[in-house]
Amino acid sequence: MGFFRKKRAAGEGGLSREEALSFVPVKNAAVRQETTETGKVRLTYPVTVRPAFSGMLRQFGVWDGKPSDKTIELDELGAATWDLADGVRSVRQVSEIFAGRYGLGAREAEISVASFFRELGRRGLVGFQAPETLRG
């Protein structure tokens, strides 16, 4: 049982920065996108309940077993980054375009874009395709 997982030390079997930036973000096909009247991008995506929690929710009659939807709104920078994720460009390429468009340094753009995609990945809005060099 992995209730208390030991965190890996830096350099212990993980990806290098260069390898991580070479991954290609791919949008989840289940995500619905719309533009609000104010010009913001709204993303709606399905969320499933964890099995252990779903039993308790059903017992209390709170949940019918169907996945529910969550919605997030992206600001201008988030929307621009979302639009640049076309399933072809790597995280590095997106960050380079982002840096040029908004006048940021390369490192600052890499950190911002990578953390944005990491959060979207955590929520299941994007997946990451390994580049050819890592697929082997």
Q: Check residue 90 and give its pLDDT.
A: 96
At 61, the pLDDT band (50, 70, 90 cuts) reads low
Closest residue by Cα to residue 71 from 125, 128, 126, 127: 125
Confidence grade of residue 38 (pLDDT, cut at 50, 70, 90)? confident
Contact (CB, 8 A) for 47 and 70: yes
Q: Mean pLDDT in the chain?
A: 84
> What is the model's pTM?
0.76
User: What is the crossing angle of helices 91-102 and 76-84, to 10°?
Assistant: 140
By three-state DSSP, how is residue 124 classified?
coil
Termini Cα distance of the chain? 32
What the chain holds in terms of domains, given with CATH numbers, is 18-124 (1.10.10)
